[in-house]
Amino acid sequence: MMPAGSDLLETGRRQLDAGDVKAAAVAFEQAFIVRPGLIDAYRSTTVSAALRELCLLAHSTIRDHHMQRYALVLEPLQAAFGASSLQRVCAFTRIFHGLDPVPTLHPLQRPSYHCFPGLRAQPWWGTEPFSWRQPLVQAADEICAELEAAIGDSTLPLQPYVPETHAEPGWEALRGQLAWGSLHLLKAGLTTELADTFPRSVSAVKSLPLAQIDGQAPEAFFSVLRPGARIPPHTGLANTKLTVHLPLRVNRDCRLTVGGEQRNWLQGSVLVFDDSFVHEACNLGQTERVVLITEIWHPELTAAERQGLSAVVASYEQWHRHVRATVEAET
């Protein structure tokens, strides 16, 4: 049986005293998983000073262990591209772990997870610089035909985009509801079982410079917003990627607002925006709004930075999956 959170903290301290930073980091992370309330205990005024200090030690040990892991995974890329090519990636890791402050952002730009320094911040991006735009538009009819055929197949039902378990206030009308439905072709970086049903759609999506982040990106899905539905204001995970919308079925009364600027989907065009800005959508028309959504790298990330960012996030995600598995195995 997995020990209690406080016991795991003490185990971590003993292992750290013995010089085993990796084992200490595992025990500390296990403590936070077993007892999530410990994560912010170092800031609490209702727990003992000793517990606050121990939780602060746990955070710093986990952070230092991650920084050591990042240095190792970045070594081959630094050898291939040069150390200076990954300076912003190294700066990102320090921001992510609280060693350096988050850069000043636009008031409406609020990435909820990753903030990469030095990238141009604008809510809307014109499609002119993107060479993939026209081929994607030209594939729209074939993509739409695949979707129409699939929607008529009862074995491929739409799924609510917002799960029933989503607890954030303001999403009550969409939780577990098909007012906003989806069919995923790519999810959390992996091709879904629907790929064989949508070969042309998957091919078109994969021709784009998709953001590749282990366990997170890319995603690609058909998004169906029913008449009267509204998607409340929200922000995406990171400023390292841009969102691409290919309209397939739209009406004049469906709208997308990003960073306070409203636009309409138009047949035969592509919308590109930064979802780390506050954005919302609505369909006030009488017909469904259907778009194909995916995500590409922010164009100002270099090849070295893309690989470095992917390697760092993969290292972080793999660590958490491993530690969580150790907890689940003993509970």
Write out the chain's pLDDT in tens, 331 residues: 557 888 999 999 999 999 999 999 999 999 999 999 999 998 988 889 999 999 999 999 999 999 999 999 999 999 999 989 999 999 999 999 999 999 989 999 999 888 999 999 999 999 878 999 999 999 999 999 998 888 776 667 789 999 999 999 999 999 999 999 999 999 988 999 988 999 999 999 999 999 998 778 899 999 999 999 999 999 999 999 999 999 999 999 999 999 999 999 999 999 999 999 999 999 999 999 999 999 999 999 999 999 999 999 999 999 999 999 999 988 7
Domain locations in the chain? 5-98+310-329, 124-297
Q: What is the CA radius of gyration of the chain?
A: 22
Q: What is the pTM of this model?
A: 0.92
Tell me the pairing of strands 180-187 and 159-160: antiparallel
Query: Helix 21-34 crosses helix 49-81 at what angle (to 10 degrees)?
Result: 120
CATH class of 124-297: mainly beta
- What is the identity of the amino acid at 211? A
Alpha carbon distances (Å) from 220 to 72, 288, 305: 31, 19, 23
The distance of Cα 63 from the centroid of its chain, to the nearest Å, equals 21
Q: φ and ψ at 257, to 5 degrees?
A: -115, 125
